[in-house]
Chain A
Amino acid sequence: MNKSYDNEMKIEFLSKSNNEAFARIAVAAFIVQLDPTIEEIADIKTAVSEAVTNSIIHGYEEKMGIIKLICKIAQNEVIIEISDTGKGIENVDIAKQPLYTTKANLERSGMGFTIMESFMDDVQVESVLGIGTKVTMKKKIKSHKEQDEFKKEKDELERYYNTEIAESSISTENDFSGMSTANSVRGEE
C-alpha cells in the first residue's frame, strides 16, 4: 500500500446494473470520515454512478465482467479509480464531448463525462481498445472553516428569500388581509 494515502478501500463487483447503487453507496459510506457536506456526497455519488454505468453499458455492453473500484483518501482529498477490462474507448476526447453517445437507441443522454468533470475537481481517462478503461477522479472535501463560511453565506441568502416568501404568502391568505398587508408593506417602503 502506498504510504501517502491515509485510507484506502477496494471493491470488485459484477457488471450488473443493480450494482450501480451498491458502488455509489459504498463510496459515500467510505468518505463519511472526511465529514463532507450533503452536496459533496451527492456530487461524488453521481460521478461514481456515471463511471460505473459507463463500464456496464459501454465497456462490457451488458456482458458480464468485473468492475474494480478503488477509493483513497489523502488528507482532505478523495481519489476514486474505476476500471474495467471491457472493450475500451476509441477516442477519449470525442467520448468526453457533451451529448456525444454511441448508444442513443438506449436513450443514453451523452452526459456521463460532462457530469463527472463538473462534479469532480479532476477526471483522467486512460483507455486501450480491447483491453479496458480506467477513470480516475479526484475531489477535495472542503475543510470545516471553509464550510462554515460557505454556510453563513448560504444562510443569509436563505433568510433573504424566506422573508420574501413570507411576505408574499401573507398577502395571499385571504383577500382583505392580503390587500391591507400588501398596502402596509408598500407604505413602509
Chain B
Amino acid sequence: MADTTLTLPAPRRLHLTGWRKGVLLALLALAWEGYARHLGNALLLPTFSATLTALVQGFASGELVTRTATSLQLLVTGYACGLAAAAALTAFAALSRWGAELLELLTAMLNPLPAVALLPIALLWFGIGAPSLVFVITHAVLWPVALASYAGFRAVPRTLRMAGRNLGLSPLRFIAEILIPAALPQILAGLRLGWAFAWRTLIAAELVFGVSARSGGIGWFIYTNRAQLETANVFAGLLTIILVGLIVETLLFRSAARATIQRWGQEQ
C-alpha cells in the first residue's frame, strides 16, 4: 500500500536530499578552509585544500590504499568471526531456555565492556599482531549483533511462528527459513551497528599498539604521521576513515535493505 504522504517518487526525493547535503558539505569545507587560513598554523589545523592534496597524494602513492586494505582485511576477518559467534549463540538462544538465559547474561555483562579494554588481555593471549586485533573486533561485533538478532527473533509475530510450525519444520529450518528472514530488519540494524563498532575498535586498537605492528593500517598511518607532525596526512587518514564508512553504509547496508526488507514491506 502506498504511503499517502509521499508525494514525490522515491528516487527523485533522494536526489533532492542529496543536493542539499552537497551544498551543506561545500559550506562546511569552505568554513574549514577559511578558519584554517585565519589560524595560519598547519601543525594544528591544515587547510581543507592541503588535506585534500595529502589525501590525493596518499592514494596516488598507494600508501593510503595499502593501509586501508590492511585495515579492511583485519576488519572483515574480525567481523566474520563475530558474526559466526553471534549466529551460534543466537541460534542456541532461539532453541532453548538455557541458551536464551546464557545470551541474556553474556550480553548484559559483556556488551557494555569497550572492546579496546580487552586489548591488554588480547596482547597477553595472542601476542602483538593481527590475531589480537581480530579478537577485539570479534568482541566488538558479537554482542550488538547477537542482541539485535535475539530481539528480532522475539519480535516475530505469534501468527507467523504458528504458520511456520504448522508446516512441521525442523528446528534448524524453522530458524533459517522463518525466524531469520522475519527478524531481518533487526538483524540488519545489528549488522550495521556491529560494523560501526568494529571500525571504531579497529582504528582505536591500531592507534594504541600499531607502533609495534609490522604493517599497520589506517590507525597506524595516523599515528606515525602525528609523530612526524605531518598534520595534513593525519587529517587525510581521518577523511579516509569517514569515506570508507560512508561507502560501506550506502553501498552495502542501504542496498541490502533495499533488496530485502524494503521490497518485502518489512521496514520499520
Please determine whether chains A and B interact with each other in the same assembly: no
Residues of B within 8 A of A (CB): none
